[in-house]
Amino acid sequence: MRRGLSACLAGLTACGVLCGLLVAAAALPVVGGAGITTNRVARTFVDLPPSPREDPLPERTVLLDRNGRQFAQFYTENRKIVKLDQVAPVMREAIVAIEDSRFYEHAGLDVKGTLRALVTNTQAGGVRQGGSSLTQQLVKNILVEGAETEAERDRAREPSIRRKITELRYALAMEKKYSKAEILERYLNIAYFGAGAFGVEAAAQRFFSVSASELTLRQAATLAGAVRTPYATDPSLGPQRRQRLRERRDIVLDRMAQLGNIPVAQAEAVKREPLNIRLKPEPGGCAGSAYPYFCLYVHRELVNNPAFGHNRAARERLLARGGVVLRTTLDPRAQRAAQRAISSRVSQEDTEVAAEAMVEPGTGRIVAMAASKRYGRNSGDHRNGPSTTYNLPADVAHGGGQGFQAGSTFKVFTLATALGRGWRFDDGFMTPGRFVPSSGYFDCHGHRVNAPNAEIFNASGEGSGGPQSISTGTWKSVNIFYMMLERRVGLCQVVRTAKALGVTRADGTPLHEVPTFTLGVNEMDPVTVAAAFAAFGARGRYCRPMAIVDMVERDGTRVAVPPSCVQAIERGVADAVNHVLSGVFTRGTMTGQDIGRDAAGKTGTNNGYTSAWFAGYTPDLAAAVSLGDIRGSYRYPLRDVTIGGEYYGQVQGASLPGPIWVASMEAALRDVSPTSFHHPDMGRFGGGYTPGLEKDEEKEKDGEDGRAGDRADGWAAEPQRRHGLRGDRGHREWKSRWRQWKQRHRYR
């Protein structure tokens, strides 16, 4: 070994790969113990392997709003790959000067450089110059990046002659495969510079808030100095590390001056300058996004949706490796409108949480997701109020929680089912003051699901009853009327209508097919409810909620994600539903609260005030707002509460979710031309008959109430017989019950 080393030292200019290996081996311990002879080494370099496998480097996955502006990014390694001509020439000179000054002269192994670095570093008592060529360093980084286990990563880093031989063989193979420019480009993109920045572009942005093409001499020398010991010179870890980084920068400047890249005077002048590090935050994930709930939905959609990979492992691999750009459905204007409407009425400090989702009818595009809580982990600093890691507007599959019972918003599915089965707007029947669902309810498996021990009351409590029609029962959200209507049209039929409109429980479990289904006993999330209501705005066309419009892959390939839609409800039936639900704003629970254009919706107030909702829509936009206590809606009902600084004896759908909906929709649609609902087919849906209701309507026409609806004879005239009330006496009894109902009924 000594004779071989002496021969190399005596004739460096002619020394080749074998001498280089011997020099490198001499710098390593236990060489003799490796049992490697000169002949075996020579044979090792006769037949070179292919260059190492190069998997795509991990990059950032970028999320863009509908206007093309970035609002979030995911990454396992903060990296953005750039071409060599996108890197400032001074940066290329600096990295070559300090790491491999003979880069353009050797074929992957620099014997002179290795010896020079060995002598220089020995004299300095530390690492001042790189001993391995840039190609060797590139190989090492490739092997580390490609390792699938920690053991493979350790083998790629181990200080052994065996690893060194492998690295050298690959380096020679790469020099045959790539040009010097291609090798330098790959090296600058794979190298770690510290502070979480991989590759020169991310490093330039992270250290100096500039792109790699804009780097100055001072900045380039700093980055070139960091690459050798990125952890020891990490400027984000305190002043001592920054001082080490400055020392490394000055070494680079001296080396560039020594090689003639820059004048000595210029190097000395730059050395007198401070580092001027301006660390630019590069938040990864959703906590640092301006729109964290939407970001989280996109993240989960990317992992869960088969459109982005044939299995979950492939989709997770896509997310981990990154390098894709996702254009989303997020509309910043609608998002701001929703967030401001919530924040102005519900405080971050409140244990009651409001959440809203906005969905575009006819496409299913989610344009906004907002909540009253700040998203993220609690750090102990509560200046901005406690945080949450649940995606409050979404279901469990998209990072959400268990959701809140949807309440009377579910009556819309019974309404649509009844209209589809031949009921007219004024068809109805007499309702009692209390109701026990003891018979007549069957789930979709044909099982009886009656609840003989349950008692159902209207919002006014026991004793309130009277005649109700499809229209009045909806406008005033009469529980008993809808329980009886659900039984008449069939519980399973109502469930099927809801499922056709995309209704699934927030926790992913099967829907509870029970008699109180129409009263909204299933826990829901705003995205799902908004998408279901959006279908009515689109004349019965239901579209699965979507957050990603298209994906641009690393190679520039654009993969479009089309809407997934189906005609779930007959158009005419949807028009009729819109007609009835429009009355909620003019004659029902939201009277006096409107948005100045055609709109329809439904309030939802749950039994015991455990939660409150409002869901509504126009032909252009739909939204759903939920409100409940984040600590548990059953343990902490919405009674005697102070929310957003305002006291509420009890929170109903119209008292807080309704105003949030109105404010957000007004702002979101401010610059959108109004679109009207289609007029319903009055020959099919107009008229109808509810015994006893016509007497009250006559009073309304005289000005007592001012809430008269369309009325005509219809098929539902038989309730007289069922209730045993006939003739004038029967009409007087209905009249008496109606007065009692009017006096005692509270709107819901």
pLDDT, mean of residues 677-703? 78
CATH (one of 1.10.3810.10, 3.30.70.600, 1.20.1280.290, 3.40.50.12780) for 2-47+78-271: 1.10.3810.10
Q: Identify the pLDDT of residue 452.
A: 93
Judge contact between 489 and 414, C-beta under 8 A.
yes
Predicted confidence band of residue 512 (pLDDT cuts 50, 70, 90): very high
Q: Identify the pLDDT of residue 55.
A: 83
pLDDT digits over 251-271, tens only? 999 999 999 999 999 999 999
**Any idea which architecture 404-548+567-638+673-737 has in CATH?**
3-Layer(aba) Sandwich (3.40)
Q: Identify the pLDDT of residue 123.
A: 57
Neighbour-count burial of 735, counting CB atoms closer than 10 A to its CB (0-12 exposed, 13-18 middle, 19+ buried): middle
Residues in CB range of 701: below 8 A, 6 or more apart:
708
pLDDT digits over 631-669, tens only? 988 899 999 999 999 999 999 999 999 999 999 999 999
Residues in CB range of 445: below 8 A, 6 or more apart:
none
Q: Identify the pLDDT of residue 27.
A: 45
Judge contact between 362 and 571, C-beta under 8 A.
no
pTM (predicted TM-score): 0.80
| CA–CA separation, 726 and 472 (whole Å) | 23
| CA–CA separation, 212 and 607 (whole Å) | 61
What is the average pLDDT value for the chain, to the nearest integer?
Answer: 85
Q: How far is CA 46 from CA 4, 40, 43, 595, 703, in A?
A: 19, 10, 5, 80, 104
Asked whether the predicted pLDDT for residue 118 surpasses 60, the reply is no
Residue with tokens 């018979």: 439
Asked whether the predicted pLDDT for residue 498 surpasses 60, the reply is yes
Predicted confidence band of residue 462 (pLDDT cuts 50, 70, 90): very low
pLDDT digits over 184-223, tens only? 999 999 999 999 999 999 999 999 999 999 999 999 999 9
Instruction: Tell me the HSE value of 66 on the side-chain side, using a 13 A CA sphere.
Output: 15
Residue with tokens 């970028």: 62
Judge contact between 568 and 583, C-beta under 8 A.
no
Give span(s): CATH 1.10.3810.10, the chain: 2-47+78-271
Instruction: Tell me the HSE value of 480 on the side-chain side, using a 13 A CA sphere.
Output: 25
Residues in CB range of 502: below 8 A, 6 or more apart:
528, 531, 532, 535, 542, 544, 545, 568
Sign of CA dihedral 251, 255, 258, 262: negative
Q: Identify the pLDDT of residue 712.
A: 26
Asked whether the predicted pLDDT for residue 337 surpasses 60, the reply is yes
Q: What percent of the chain has pLDDT over 90?
A: 66
Q: Identify the pLDDT of residue 28.
A: 44
Q: Chain centroid to CA 498: how far?
A: 25
Give span(s): CATH 3.40.710.10, the chain: 404-548+567-638+673-737
Asked whether the predicted pLDDT for residue 32 surpasses 50, the reply is no
Residue 162 CB neighbours (<10 A) = 11
CA proximity to 369, closest of 406, 401, 331, 327: 331
Q: Identify the pLDDT of residue 51.
A: 79
pLDDT digits over 65-84, tens only? 999 999 999 888 999 999 99
Q: Where are the beta strands (DSSP E) in 70-126?
A: 70-74
Asked whether the predicted pLDDT for residue 399 surpasses 50, the reply is yes
| CA–CA separation, 644 and 627 (whole Å) | 12
pLDDT, mean of residues 512-524? 97
Q: Which of 6-10, 176-180, 227-231, 334-338 has the highest mean pLDDT?
A: 334-338
Q: Identify the pLDDT of residue 467.
A: 94
